[in-house]
Amino acid sequence: MAQQQYVTFIGAGNVAWHLAPALDNAGYAVREVYSSTEKSAKALISRLYQAELKTNLDFSDSASQIFIVSVSDDAIESIAQEIILPDNAIIAHTSGAQPLSALSYSAGENIGVFYPLQTFSKDKKVDFKSTPICIEAENKFTRNTLLDIADTISKKVYKIDSADRKSLHVAAVFACNFTNHFFKIASDILRSKKLEFNLLQPLIAETINKALEIGPDKSQTGPAVRHDFETLDKHMDYLEGNEELSEMYRLISQHIIDTYPKD
């Protein structure tokens, strides 16, 4: 970079917890952190080199050129309405579900999206080099700037518009959030019988590796894909006392049966 660019983070949640240090280490110095929860902002600042706490959304005198809005989806539009930016600053949100237009209430013209397609938890380190980053922008200047930033931390950078990003986010919820919830259900079932969740560890690893290697279509196994109704009925009997899980098991099994009809 010919001239160092400074970054400000609006929000200090899970995404910012990992993204802010990554940008800091890549040479995009994070100068300010604002959060509606001051404790969260101070915790994030402790992970950065020179960032300072900001207690309001007036950034008219800020040295930053890039403002990353990393807040809950329903807070993006209100932040855009309230924030006061320096001239020619770029403002970008990190949401997978919200469109670029969520920032249209901002007084600035340089709006964009900087969406890292990853699951973030504060106590688990993220490898940004292998994390896809999806970029969208209102104009060429903003797009090129965000692409340059993404290229410094990731080897997988894509230009994806709001409509495609919405599809990607829905797919990600199925692939990640729903799958993890099923892990939780499995863990609860085992715990009720005083069995350890790590018994499933090799199975989970093989399931994921196989889906990545040969594709999910070819790697589906289990009683539903075999149309093994005797086993399915036994499992439904086991779950009889839990109406929610029983209905979930029935719906998913039926969906698999319908997806893989018998020849």
Q: What is the DSSP letter of 202?
A: H
pLDDT, tens digit (0-9, with 9 covering 90-100), for 145-191? 999 999 999 999 999 999 999 999 999 999 999 999 999 999 999 99
> Hey, which residues does 84 pair with through a beta bridge?
58
pLDDT, tens digit (0-9, with 9 covering 90-100), for 93-145? 999 999 999 999 998 899 999 999 999 999 999 999 999 999 999 999 999 99
The Cα–Cα gap between 246 and 248 comes to 5
The Cα–Cα gap between 223 and 230 comes to 9
**Among candidate residues 243, 226, 95, the one with its CA nearest the CA of residue 166:** 95
Phi, psi torsion values for 253, nearest 5 degrees: -60, -40
The Cα–Cα gap between 228 and 230 comes to 6
Q: What is the DSSP letter of 8?
A: E
Q: What local confidence, expressed as pLDDT, does residue 1 receive?
A: 42
Average pLDDT, the chain: 96
Number of Cβ atoms within 10 Å of the Cβ of 161: 13
Q: Which two tokens stand for residue 166?
A: 């919405």
| Domains of the chain from N-terminus onward | 7-160 (3.40.50.720), 165-259 (1.10.1040.20)
- The total number of residues shown for the chain amounts to 263
- Is the CB of residue 9 less than 8 Å from the CB of residue 16? yes
- The whole-number average pLDDT for the span 43-65 is 96
- Judged by phi (left if over 0) then psi (alpha if -120 to 50, else beta), residue 154 lies in beta
Report DSSP letters for 54-96, one per residue: E-SSB-TT---SEEEE-S-GGGHHHHHHH-B--TT-EEEE--S
CA 81 to each of CA 13, 54, 101, 111, 160: distance values in angstroms, whole numbers, following the listed order: 20, 17, 12, 13, 25
pLDDT, tens digit (0-9, with 9 covering 90-100), for 7-30? 999 999 999 999 999 999 999 999
